[in-house]
Amino acid sequence: MKTFVLLGSVNMALAIALGAFGAHGLAGKITEKLLANWNTGAHYHLIHALGLIAVGILIGKSAQADLLNTAGWLLFAGIILFSGSLYAMALTGVKALGAITPIGGVSFIIGWVLVAVHAVKHLN
């Protein structure tokens, strides 16, 4: 429980800082397309940081947390792979980094499916 609430909280702060950096530090310094990629990374980063906090809270309320633990690590991996690859691509202009982004997206999807499966199996 504490791990995912902590990871979520740290990632919320980081996502806000990175979003602000994109808006104020990168605007006019990189192309509009790369800035849009940065903003997409920050948007997904924020959403999934909140998801980590939610998973941590659910773990604290559940006797069966295996699916939720896996879901939390997949959401965290998704942040690193999806948002991280978009941040790196925006900063470097290396478009090949975009090949990593879908792996992060799949991590997000599987993580949320596991939360749903947990809900069906264990929540009233």
Of 38, 43, 122, whose CA–CA distance to 87 is shortest?
Answer: 38
**pLDDT at 1 (0 to 100):** 77
Cα separation, 44 vs 102, whole angstroms:
13
Span 5-60, pLDDT tens digits: 999 999 999 999 999 999 999 999 999 999 999 999 999 999 999 999 999 999 99
Cα separation, 106 vs 124, whole angstroms:
28
Cα separation, 4 vs 45, whole angstroms:
14
Cα separation, 59 vs 14, whole angstroms:
23
**pLDDT at 124 (0 to 100):** 79
Tokens of residue 36, six digits: 């849009």
Span 72-89, pLDDT tens digits: 999 999 999 999 999 999
